[in-house]
Structure 1
């Protein structure tokens, strides 16, 4: 089955559309990557989305508008991926949507909201769409994240030692071989906020870690940031920009006086490295396989390597899965599993009471045509 996975993460800079040929062969799920295209949000939509996210406020009218415009943007990305990567022969679209709120209180997730109305995708492509993956796991008592943990477990199974999968997006998360999975804290969220703020909006992120490379770590600011209670919570746990946003950064900076921009960004980069390294040590990892936009920051990877002597930190590209496209491929897998009536969650990863078949299904142009339900799920993921 040719499946297009659509993903826009917590950095909300672009929609990634990855196409894969997926098939069940015995106990293996075989994935043949067909490539990825990326469609940046236009400036007006990105600005409207940024204004609606915490700590900003919004209205139901604006939520409706964003749901439509994001859905149309996702639809355009899916159409392009089908044309350029699948030759117009895609069979299913799996859309994560754009997370705008993750409702967490005292460690428990009560709800989550992803915008990007799937009807626009189904209408534009004519294909059946699986969307809204996270709510079902939350309804079953889980965190609703990180959902890529199932793919990580299938993919890294059989590697020697204790390999962990690390995603360095706006929020960082990891998956360990025993099924432990959780958000470690801010990946690039605070770094991006600082780069954007100090550059007067000219920069969306610290390109190649250049600003961090020119700065020095400020111990007082680092100590203040590391005092965040989230880091001490037990797994499973999840977080988002509801906590780690620009207002959070301003509050932290208010207590340490005026600092050069480069020093603030160097310290924030070290904060991400420290919190990730602590999590990696907690699960006893012997290898880190990293993906996500943060892997393009050489300063962050250098800091992480220095904090984890003897533990190799490598990009997922080395194992055949493009780091920039990994999450989009992961949701293609989750959509494929849903289409075959197979669960897409691991209770030890999300804290749910049981595994769940994920998502809501929007029929394509020719109605709802799903494959015959599979008798059992795969035990490993093989890249072709």
Structure 2
């Protein structure tokens, strides 16, 4: 099948669309993924501002929720339709849309609910294809965290690793998947990756910049000890996995409260401190697992200061990019959702209970039909491995 994966992360900086050819091989034991193309389409300025204005800790209205669900769905539809034309010669079989997370209802180690907006009917109408959406809720209903779903791809991709290995995703929130031979896998959110850095940039530039390009401002400063110690005292870091978090905890209010108590350093020192928070919390989270290799993906990999501090804190573990395994680090999450949609279509679970804490492994999502009648295949065997094959195009 050719499956289109579409998503937008915590930073809400645009719609990621990836096209993949996916096949089950060896009697269903192995998934073959051929990347066909990837691009990010920025939200329209007005929609971006409306999303930012509705994210925690902001209050909102049901009118705004309805407007966002519709407008996000429409812009996803346009981005997906463009991706099908550009990467799949106008022919695809399925769309898997994660949508935009607006709220993740977490209380300590318990997740009560999660809300992703982006009405899939708009995508189905624009493309004529069935759409798998609402990819997290089944795991939450089964007692899980609904995250990190990255573990679904990571475990298949890292299967057979000779040494303890971690996949690290650096979005707004950082999450890890740990694979060790002979032991159950583990996956969880470690804390903020870019969320606090982005909030600080909006603060110091009066909203003119949403991120620290190339880590330029952080490069000019040094971590402030008082602020760093205060931020690292956050109880979330000491919760045992499985655990997940989001802007509900690590949003602008978290930063504002810390600055009020610990004081506000210079702009460069502030950014350097927040980069160090990410580096310390990721390294501390992985240390008990004795990992030797850490393969990073996500927007945070484009911040060289963050990558330098992570490498220093993770040593002697090696820090590398997920590109090493054949998947573009920027595109990895969109390919993840394409994979989950493919698994759901074949009657297979889209999450891993050892990683999310669910009581069982549910099939992910709900299906919105396209213009043709739905014809589902027979359920397949659960795959144990995934390999990435370069496209001949």
TM-score by length of 2: 0.96
Secondary structure at the counterpart of residue 141 of structure 1: coil
CA distance in 2, matches of 1:202, 1:262: 16
Q: What is aligned with 2:109?
A: 107
Q: What is aligned with 1:137?
A: 139
Cα deviation, residue 114, structure 1: 0.2
Deviation per residue, 1:67-125 (Å, 9 max, x gap): 00000011011101100000011100000010000011232000000000000000000
Aligned partner of 1:160 among 159, 162, 171: 162
Q: What is aligned with 1:44?
A: 46
Say whether 1:218 aligns with 2:220: no
Secondary structure at the counterpart of residue 126 of structure 2: helix
Cα deviation, residue 296, structure 1: 0.4
Secondary structure at the counterpart of residue 176 of structure 1: strand
Q: What is aligned with 2:20?
A: 20
After the TM superposition, which segments of 4 or more aligned residues of structure 1 sit over 4 Å from their partners?
none
CA distance in 1, matches of 2:112, 2:304: 36
TM-score by length of 1: 0.99
Cα deviation, residue 372, structure 1: 2.6
Cα deviation, residue 151, structure 1: 0.8
Q: What is aligned with 1:331?
A: 337
Say whether 1:383 aligns with 2:388: yes
Q: What is aligned with 1:77?
A: 79
Cα deviation, residue 148, structure 1: 1.3
Say whether 1:368 aligns with 2:374: yes
Aligned partner of 1:358 among 364, 379, 387: 364
CA distance in 2, matches of 1:108, 1:149: 19
CA distance in 2, matches of 1:360, 1:229: 35
Secondary structure at the counterpart of residue 255 of structure 1: helix
* Mapping 1:195-206, distance limit 5 Å: 195-206=201-212
Cα deviation, residue 329, structure 1: 0.1
Cα deviation, residue 241, structure 1: 0.3
Aligned residues: 383
Q: 2:167–2:176: 8 Å Cα contact kept in structure 1?
A: yes
Say whether 1:97 aligns with 2:103: no
Say whether 1:187 aligns with 2:186: no
CA distance in 1, matches of 2:7, 2:131: 13
CA distance in 1, matches of 2:245, 2:317: 26
Secondary structure at the counterpart of residue 372 of structure 2: coil
Secondary structure at the counterpart of residue 31 of structure 2: strand
CA distance in 1, matches of 2:108, 2:318: 34
CA root-mean-square deviation: 0.8
Cα deviation, residue 210, structure 1: 0.5
CA distance in 2, matches of 1:382, 1:306: 30
CA distance in 2, matches of 1:68, 1:128: 18
Structure 2, unaligned stretches of length 5 or more? none
CA distance in 1, matches of 2:316, 2:233: 27
Cα deviation, residue 369, structure 1: 2.6
Cα deviation, residue 259, structure 1: 1.5
CA distance in 1, matches of 2:130, 2:39: 20
CA distance in 1, matches of 2:280, 2:45: 33
CA distance in 1, matches of 2:60, 2:368: 27
Aligned partner of 1:263 among 261, 269, 283: 269
Cα deviation, residue 367, structure 1: 2.2
CA distance in 1, matches of 2:63, 2:306: 39
Deviation per residue, 1:130-171 (Å, 9 max, x gap): 000101000000000001101100001112201110000000
Deviation per residue, 1:315-335 (Å, 9 max, x gap): 111221000000000000000
CA distance in 2, matches of 1:236, 1:262: 34
CA distance in 1, matches of 2:88, 2:355: 33
Secondary structure at the counterpart of residue 278 of structure 2: helix
CA distance in 2, matches of 1:320, 1:299: 24
Structure 1, unaligned stretches of length 5 or more? none
CA distance in 1, matches of 2:370, 2:22: 19
